[in-house]
Amino acid sequence: MTKEDIMRRAIQLSIESVRKGGGPFGAVIAKNGEIIAEASNCVTIDCDPTAHAEVSCIRKAASKLGTFDLSGCEIYTSCEPCPMCFGAIYWAHLDKIYYANDRKDAGRIGFDDDFIYQEIALPAEERMKPSEILLRDEAIKAFQLWEEKEDKTEY
């Protein structure tokens, strides 16, 4: 399949998602031109704020391939990934992101991903969502154990 064929599938998934009550987003993960996994946005359908097309697609691809490292694969999304999905794409080690609509297009229809991108860039004390460090001295023990663990699987 060509890149355009795969993107058309992601776009079709986004259209189908709207028709079945989901959000207007679709994603496909491919390797060497072959579709490995596909998903659409199911946030409202599944009552799961993390059920974005990209995250769901990554989960399916990782399960199908039996690995958390999706190096060698590319993701095609109907829209520029939100910050959560963008982070998941990096954690999954996908080689490349192709997207059709951008975050400004999403913003025009009420999906203000750009706001979160702006929030991330701010120092914690300037963000709209308050946060504070709590029990760091206790929590650091897990990090120390991880650091000392000789048989850990890096990711």
Q: Which of 38, 54, 74, 80 is catalytic?
A: 54
**Are the CB atoms for 18 and 88 separated by under 8 Å?**
no
Distances (CA, A) of 71 to 3, 9, 39, 127: 17, 21, 19, 33
Q: 35 forms bridges with which residues in the sheet? A: 30
Block residue for tokens 């998903």 = 39
Radius of gyration of the chain, Cα coordinates, nearest whole angstrom: 18
Active site residue 54: yes
What contacts 15, CB < 8 A, 6 or more positions away? 24, 26
Torsion (CA) 34, 35, 36, 42 in degrees, nearest 10: 170
What contacts 137, CB < 8 A, 6 or more positions away? none
Q: Which residues are catalytic?
A: 54
